[in-house]
């Protein structure tokens, strides 16, 4: 009898304790993972880590970043396309996501059908720079020279299929010129050769060329944003010379196809709120970028249109990837 009372008392104590302890102690929510198709330290990685910090606070769920660089972001995208449809494995991608649809002969996924767009995150323009002794000092002079001697002047690109490669090709298309494209494995070596005078021109991110502004080591010819960039007040928008020309790298978040409407809405709300926070805005500002969020429907439409737009640019370059 005494043992029965002890058992009953012990059971009652355990039951009351379990009811008073938060359920998270027993079943902690798994972390939300943002997969990034780029190496640590780059713009895409910084964007992902910045929004991960904000989402952790907003959702009350740990958000971590996993870097899976390679194949222009395709390795990371394929991982997310195959991920469970619980919304705990997401992709933070960039312009190459839509470029790759036509650049690669075959992809292991469909960029529209195999993903759930969550939201845009940011847009970042680029800067057109030239070697210090380049004969032209503005875009109009460059175009005049390039039309006179097609194929003579060289553009360095930091990576085939990158947003800066597409900016170069789009500029050639819109300006009606033909230049020599010189590919590099990264922006840093390309910029190094520009400073050294081995190549003539290149489109570069603001953060890469900011240290050279105000010096006589390179020339700043223009920016790809519709309005002037405060970081480079002497470099006018290229669109003032080449009507309608703009070019921006974009960054956005996707989940695998088939996420529930409720989960998508919750994630979109967290991104929209987090991206407005001062800490995230200040993270993007040094790149010359702006925070841009969207509804899932708006982002899906943007992706579809961007795929079609870059198909024309990729065709112009004549470049393909396996």
- Confidence grade of residue 288 (pLDDT, cut at 50, 70, 90): confident
From CA 258, how far away is CA 251, in angstroms rounded? 22
- Which segments of 100-157 are extended strands (E)? 115-131, 154-157
Bridge partners of residue 127, in order along the sequence: 204, 223
Q: Is there a contact between 215 and 222 (Cβ–Cβ < 8 Å)?
A: no
Domain extents for the chain? 30-124+249-317, 125-240
Length of the chain: 322
26 sits in which H/E element: helix 23-26
Can 30-124+249-317 and 125-240 be said to share one CATH topology? yes
HSE-up (13 A, CA, CB side) for residue 302: 23
For the domain made up of 125-240, give the CATH fold: D-Maltodextrin-Binding Protein; domain 2 (3.40.190)
Q: Which 3 state secondary structure label does DSSP give 37?
A: coil
Residues in contact with 311: Cβ distance below 8 Å, sequence separation at least 6, in sequence order: 101, 102
Identify which of 10-14, 27-31, 259-263, 315-319 has the greatest average pLDDT: 259-263
- Confidence grade of residue 11 (pLDDT, cut at 50, 70, 90): very low
Q: What's the mean pLDDT in 131-143?
A: 97
Per-residue pLDDT of 216-234, as tens digits, reads 999 999 999 999 999 999 9
187 versus 239: the higher-pLDDT residue is 239
Q: What pLDDT score was predicted for residue 28?
A: 65
Kindly tell me if the per-residue pLDDT of 200 is higher than 80: yes
Q: What pLDDT score was predicted for residue 286?
A: 84
Bridge partners of residue 290, in order along the sequence: 123
- Identify the CATH homologous superfamily for domain 30-124+249-317: Bordetella uptake gene, domain 1 (3.40.190.150)
Kindly tell me if the per-residue pLDDT of 19 is higher than 60: no
Per-residue pLDDT of 79-127, as tens digits, reads 999 999 999 999 999 999 999 999 999 999 999 999 999 999 999 999 9
């Amino acid at each position: 009898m005494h043992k029965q009372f002890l058992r009953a008392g012990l059971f009652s104590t355990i039951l009351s304790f379990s009811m008073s302890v938060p359920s998270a102690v027993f079943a902690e929510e798994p972390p939300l993972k943002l997969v990034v198709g780029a190496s640590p330290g780059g713009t895409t990685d910084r964007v992902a880590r910045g929004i991960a910090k904000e989402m952790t606070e907003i959702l009350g769920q740990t958000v971590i970043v996993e870097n899976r660089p390679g194949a222009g972001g395709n390795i990371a995208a394929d991982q997310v396309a195959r991920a469970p449809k619980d919304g705990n494995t997401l992709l933070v991608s960039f312009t190459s996501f839509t470029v790759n649809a036509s650049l690669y002969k075959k992809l292991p996924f469909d960029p529209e059908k195999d993903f759930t767009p969550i939201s845009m995150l940011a847009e970042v323009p680029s800067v057109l720079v030239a070697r210090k002794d380049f004969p032209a000092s503005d875009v109009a002079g460059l175009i005049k020279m390039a039309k006179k001697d097609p194929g003579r002047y060289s553009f360095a690109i930091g990576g085939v299929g990158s947003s800066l490669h597409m900016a170069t090709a789009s500029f050639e298309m819109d300006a009606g010129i033909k230049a020599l494209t010189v590919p590099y494995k990264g922006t840093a070596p390309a910029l190094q050769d520009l400073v050294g005078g081995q190549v003539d021109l290149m489109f570069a991110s603001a953060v890469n060329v900011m240290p050279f502004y105000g010096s006589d080591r390179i020339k700043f010819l223009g920016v790809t944003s519709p309005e002037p960039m405060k970081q480079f007040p002497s470099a006018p928008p290229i669109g003032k010379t080449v009507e309608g020309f703009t070019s921006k790298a974009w960054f956005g978040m996707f989940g695998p196809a088939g996420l529930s409407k409720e989960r998508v809405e919750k994630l979109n709300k967290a991104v929209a709120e987090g991206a407005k926070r001062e800490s995230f805005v200040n993270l993007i500002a040094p790149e010359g970028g702006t925070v841009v969020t969207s509804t899932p429907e708006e982002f899906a439409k943007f992706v579809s249109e961007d795929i079609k737009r870059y198909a024309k640019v990729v065709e112009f370059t004549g470049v393909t990837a396996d």
